Amino acid sequence: MAVVNLFYISLLLPPLFLLFLLFLIIRPRPVQIPIKKRHVFITGGSSGIGLALAHQAASEGAHVSILSRSIDKLEEAKNAIKLSAGIDVAIFAADVRDFEAVQRAIDEAGPIDVLIVNQGVFVAQELEEQKLDEVRFIIDVNLMGSFNMIKAALPGMKRSRKDRGPGSIALMSSQAGQVGIYGYTAYSASKFGLRGLAEALQQEVIGDNIHVSLVFPPDTETPGLVEENKRKPQLTSIIAASSGAMKADQVAKKALDGIKSGSFIIPCNFEGILLSIATAGLSPQRSYLMAFVEVVAAGILRIAALCFQWNWYGSIEKWHVQKNCKHRMPPLTSVICFIVTRKAFGPWNLEALGT
């Protein structure tokens, strides 16, 4: 009996030691960031995830400001929040690409406790087909717009921070900011850039009690998604569909909960959790339990990631086979090719590829 007990104890010692070690070394340390009666400033706040975040924050008693380009949409959003939460929100019309306009809005809004940089544009298209002006527009809004917002807000956020409690800067990235996807060359570049910004910025502002979060939502059911899908390449739809879509209010709740707990990485669904563990790398981690999962699961999830890549590249290969059959062969050869590929890949996969 004693031998059995010693055996079980020997099995438990390594994970317990690892947990204790992670508890000692994780940085930054855990923190709670209150929302009630604090100034929450949200960009892209007139629709989609931004509007859902504004609703959520207002319902929790925050003083909410929202910024967007369209004053008409801002007025509609303000009225909707007033109707649902009974709270007035401040509205500011500005283009995040224009630093001077952003600075004026920030100065008028006053010191911010929680800045949620949520604006974003997305056009899925192969790089060869996409115009460089459109690439610049995506990067200017998604990445440079985030720099502009943070640069304008940071001095006021730092001021009297000891008396005002912990602050937060949250950046709305995307699962396309964790893994590159066909047709997302410009968009993924802009969202991957946010991760580098967030990791470096956290080191710069931690001494001022400001905590950075990076939110990774999947496709979200917003007006913007409807427009995006009109131009989205077929292969992009096939690959991106593996994660599924969420509602804006679901993403907003996950995001706000993560911000309040000071999490650096905030996934929004199960696939997002797996992606976050698989891509943790040198990112900060406040939870020693989550750090334990990252350490233990890293090898297994690398295998899973390779399986995903195998599936995605398989879809790409099949799509190209079908494309070649339809567009580059005589009619009789095309029929023969269709029969061969149907035998090789099966009817279900070919239907998924639009056959």
Alpha carbon distance 76, 105 (integer Å): 19
- Closest by CA to 85, choosing from 108, 113, 53, 112, is 53
Q: What is the pLDDT of residues 48-91, one digit of tens each?
A: 999 999 999 999 999 999 999 999 999 999 999 999 888 999 99
SS3 93: strand
pLDDT value of residue 161: 84
> Is residue 181 assigned to a domain?
yes
Does residue 16 sit in the same domain as residue 45?
no
pLDDT value of residue 43: 98
Q: Which residue shows structure tokens 């979060």?
A: 213
Q: What is the pLDDT of residues 213-254, one digit of tens each?
A: 999 999 888 777 776 777 788 888 877 766 678 999 999 999
Does residue 170 sit in the same domain as residue 313?
no
pLDDT value of residue 160: 81
**Is the per-residue pLDDT at 341 higher than 50?**
no
Q: What is the pLDDT of residues 168-208, one digit of tens each?
A: 999 999 999 999 999 999 999 999 999 999 999 999 999 99
> Is residue 234 assigned to a domain?
yes
Does residue 296 sit in the same domain as residue 246?
no
Could you confirm whether 131 is annotated as catalytic? no
- Omega cis (within 30) before 330: no
Does residue 121 sit in the same domain as residue 69?
yes
The last residue of one of the domains, among 218, 246, 278, is: 278
pLDDT value of residue 222: 78
Average pLDDT in the chain = 88
Task: Specify whether the CB–CB gap between 248 and 221 falls below 8 A.
Answer: yes
Pick the catalytic residue: 146, 173, 188, 190?
A: 173
> Is residue 350 assigned to a domain?
no
SS3 206: helix
Does residue 178 sit in the same domain as residue 142?
yes
pLDDT value of residue 348: 35
Does residue 67 sit in the same domain as residue 146?
yes
> Is residue 335 assigned to a domain?
no
**Is the per-residue pLDDT at 351 higher than 60?**
no
Residue 82 sits in a domain of what CATH number? 3.40.50.720
Q: Helices (DSSP H) in the chain: which residue ranges?
A: 2-25, 48-59, 71-85, 99-109, 132-139, 145-158, 161-164, 185-205, 223-231, 234-240, 248-260, 270-278, 288-327, 331-345, 347-352
> Is residue 78 assigned to a domain?
yes
Pick the catalytic residue: 187, 188, 254, 318?
A: 187
Does residue 129 sit in the same domain as residue 237?
yes
Pick the catalytic residue: 73, 191, 232, 318?
A: 191
- By CB atoms closer than 10 A (0-12, 13-18, 19+), residue 347 is exposed
> Is residue 199 assigned to a domain?
yes
Does residue 115 sit in the same domain as residue 243?
yes
Alpha carbon distance 63, 58 (integer Å): 7
Q: What confidence tier does 327 reach under pLDDT thresholds 50, 70, 90?
A: low
**CA contacts within 13 A on the Cβ side of 141:** 19
Does residue 198 sit in the same domain as residue 300?
no
Write the DSSP string, 250-281: HHHHHHHHHHHTT-SEEE-SHHHHHHHHHT-T
pLDDT value of residue 67: 98
The total number of structural domains that make up the chain: 2
Does residue 259 sit in the same domain as residue 300?
no
Higher pLDDT: 139 or 332? It is 139
Could you confirm whether 173 is annotated as catalytic? yes
Q: What is the pLDDT of residues 21-48, one digit of tens each?
A: 999 999 999 999 999 999 999 999 999 9
User: What average pLDDT score do residues 257-286 get?
Assistant: 94
Does residue 47 sit in the same domain as residue 177?
yes
What's the domain range around 12?
8-26+287-328
> Is residue 105 assigned to a domain?
yes
- Closest by CA to 42, choosing from 78, 59, 67, is 67
The last residue of one of the domains, among 278, 312, 346, is: 278
pLDDT value of residue 334: 45
Task: Specify whether the CB–CB gap between 209 and 162 falls below 8 A.
Answer: yes
pLDDT value of residue 324: 78
Q: What is the pLDDT of residues 94-152, one digit of tens each?
A: 999 999 999 999 999 999 999 999 999 988 999 999 999 999 999 999 999 999 999 99
Does residue 54 sit in the same domain as residue 144?
yes
> Is residue 94 assigned to a domain?
yes
